[in-house]
Structure 1
């Protein structure tokens, strides 16, 4: 897997495989590019800093509210 980030565009690219892209599906700020065999090749996260910051804040809240038991 190869990961690239464009600060100028605020896009995170996750290259999952070297396959040839056949089509893409977009769901909000996430675009998944697929091969002809319907396997993910590339994931684009638009507005990456906003999305990842929100995800990390949510994770921190979950961890803060989790009670650990033995």
Structure 2
């Protein structure tokens, strides 16, 4: 399961990689990595996402 969402109100891209529960997260600057209890990557949050991509590219990404 892979789901990509953009939260405009907080300018964050959320990439869900798994339905597993989240046990902990690691903050890597503008990227937050969420892990399951058995250390599998579950969710990636990219903050201040508009600094990475243009509005047009973001729209195309979410449409695919």
Q: What TM-score does the superposition give when structure 1 sets the normalisation length?
A: 0.72
Q: Which has the higher helix share?
A: 1
Write the deviation string for residues 22-65 of structure 1: whole angstroms up to 9, x where unpaired: 00001000000000010000000000110235xx9xxxxxxxxx
Q: What stretches of structure 1 move > 6 A for 4+ residues in a row?
A: none
Q: What TM-score does the superposition give when structure 2 sets the normalisation length?
A: 0.78
Q: Which has the larger radius of gyration?
A: 1
CA shift for structure 1 position 8: 1.5
* Uncovered stretches (5+) of structure 1, i.e. residues with no partner: 57-70
**Whose RCO is larger (CA < 8 A, sep 6+)?**
2
Residues 1:42 and 2:17 are matched in the alignment: no
Q: Counterparts of 1:1-70 in structure 2 under 5 Å?
A: 1-53=2-54
How many aligned residue pairs are there?
A: 54
* Uncovered stretches (5+) of structure 2, i.e. residues with no partner: 58-64
Name the CA distance, whole Å, in 1 between partners of 2:44 and 2:30: 10
